[in-house]
Amino acid sequence: MRKEDNYIPELMYGYLGFDNMLQAFLTIFQSITEEGWVDIMYPIMDSINAISGAMYFILMILFGSFLLLNLTLAVLEDSLSYNKDLLEAEEEEELERSGNLDDSGRSGDNSVETGPGELVKVEPRSRCRLPFFNLVNNPYFEGTIVLLIVLNTVVLGLDHHPMDLSFSYNLEILNFVLTVLFTIEMVLKLIGLGLFQYLRDGYNRFDGIIVIFSIVELGVSPPGFLAKDHRGSGGGISALRSFRLFRIFKLARSWTDLRIILEKIIMTLRDVSNFAVLLILFMYILALVGMQVFANRLRFDNDDLPVSFEQYNDYDPSELQNKHQPQAHFDTLGWALVTIFQVLSGENWNVVLYDCMRGTGLFGATVFFLILVIMGNFIILNLFLAILLINFDGLSEAQEQEADIFEESEAALRIDDTAKSSGIRACLVACIKPKTTNIKVRPEVMFDEETMSTKKEVDTPLENFSFNGRFSSECVCYWLYMMVVA
């Protein structure tokens, strides 16, 4: 491919190809980023050979993109995990030196960590509040709230446009009823638990905020059956209704796996704070460099030829492509940051590269975008994924612990059943026991007539089963039970 013969958008303006080493390197680099690689493959398949061209790019994507680029993520994750282990080991050594670490490897403080939904609730002293306390702690009450949450999600999902007037009217009634029910739930919990215990639980605080938003939305934009003359408000107030969807996260209280995932997400958000500062700083620096190099230079006429900023006013606006500039440009700091973020996300970054190549030249644009993609996309964004992997390494362990707890409870039930069975057998052994006795047998029983003259009593041991004297009706019942079970 040559630029002079292929200066059209369909052929990437002739910038990509395999005519020389640098051009081939840029072509392969764009291909392994998985952005626009098919636009390069199709002309090669048409011009050379369809099978060989397709196989070349398939192997390139498999080994270059799926394997090698993902190895970068693996290396970063291993390095971060190793550094994290070193920091934890150093902290443990410091605690051991200070004497604040016990034999079990935990710090010396006696604080007890409780997860979400595991707060100890204290009964109120007032007898008037005690029924409300028992009500809000009843499992059936919690199950009813879960059903209302699911129903609320379904009702909000039924909203569509256009809607029949009758359907919209019924939907408003359902939304109003659900809002009233959730408000009653909040009031009952405030009475039963008290303000302090209610605010201690994060789920209650979260639910209280959503209820307040719902009440504000009903007050500003009441349903039609309450205020017939009210025409409703704009989409901003009506959008408050969407906050009710977040109530579904309350299912994490009883859904263990969901609760563990949410805890990991919150932990990850805390850990990526330093990463966020690094990402913003990197984007800001590259945006300033892009403004210095590409600002006011991404303007082209109908022949896709660059127009200098000094000559821009001499051209007829009808002869100019994109009268001011392409959508992704570096003329202002805001648009420069948006363009940098677009390139980091990997969406159509090659189109921005071609525009910068046409406006400023091949060398400067190539170096700038190589640094931006390699440092920003391959390293910094992969750092974010590495932090996610490190924090979610314990996800399976936490789920396994929950599974172990469940298995232990099941094993305890089996042990109880076994204990009951062994108790029955013990009772039977006590009732029917083997014993060895010495029975005196007359000689005529053991000897024939020739030896009867000896008239000698012989003591002969005889093993036999004999019922104990204390044979009760309870033993009979147990014995019959064992016969049925066997």
Segment 152-201, tens digit of pLDDT: 888 888 887 888 888 888 888 888 899 899 999 999 999 988 888 888 88
Residue 282: predicted pLDDT? 93
Residue 92: predicted pLDDT? 78
Q: From residue 309, how far is each of 149, 296, 314, 325, 361 by CA, in Å?
A: 59, 6, 10, 11, 15
Host H or E run for residue 149: helix 139-157
Host H or E run for residue 420: helix 393-431
Judge if the upstream peptide bond of residue 139 is cis by omega within 30 degrees of 0.
no
Residue 280: predicted pLDDT? 92
Residue 416: predicted pLDDT? 52
> How many angstroms separate the CA atoms of 301 and 304, rounded?
5
> How many angstroms separate the CA atoms of 114 and 137, rounded?
18
Residues linked to residue 301 through DSSP beta bridges, in sequence order: 320
Residue 459: predicted pLDDT? 44
**pLDDT tens track, the chain, 486 positions:** 444 566 777 777 878 888 888 889 999 999 998 888 888 898 888 888 889 889 999 999 998 888 888 887 788 777 777 777 777 787 777 777 776 555 444 444 443 344 444 566 778 888 888 888 899 888 889 889 889 988 988 888 888 788 888 888 888 888 889 989 999 999 999 998 888 888 888 888 888 888 898 888 888 877 777 776 665 555 555 666 677 777 777 777 767 777 777 777 777 777 777 788 888 999 999 999 999 999 888 888 777 778 777 777 776 666 665 555 688 889 889 999 999 999 998 888 999 999 899 888 888 999 999 999 999 888 888 888 888 777 777 666 655 665 566 556 556 555 554 544 454 454 444 444 444 444 444 444 444 444 444 444 444 443 444 444 444 444 444 445 454 444
Residue 264: predicted pLDDT? 76
The amino acid occupying position 149 is I
Residue 412: predicted pLDDT? 57
> How many angstroms separate the CA atoms of 345 and 352, rounded?
13
In the chain the domains, ranked by start, together with CATH numbers, are 9-79 (no CATH), 130-254 (1.20.120.350), 272-391 (1.10.287.70), 395-485 (no CATH)
The DSSP secondary-structure symbol of 201 reads S
Residues linked to residue 436 through DSSP beta bridges, in sequence order: 463
Residue 258: predicted pLDDT? 74
C-alpha 372 chain-centroid distance: 29
Cα angle 243, 244, 249; round to 5: 100
> How many angstroms separate the CA atoms of 206 and 94, rounded?
38
Give residues with Cβ within 8 angstroms of 1, minimum separation 6. 11, 14, 16, 17, 18, 19, 23, 43
DSSP 3-state helix, strand, coil percentages of the chain (rounded to 5)? 70, 5, 25
> How many angstroms separate the CA atoms of 266 and 333, rounded?
32
The DSSP secondary-structure symbol of 139 reads H
The amino acid occupying position 105 is G
- Its pTM stands at 0.61
The DSSP result for 219-262, as a single string, is: HHS--TTT-TT-----HHHHGGGGGGGGGGGGGGGT-HHHHHHH
Burial 275-293 (b: 16+ CB within 10 A, else e): beeebeebbeebbebbbeb
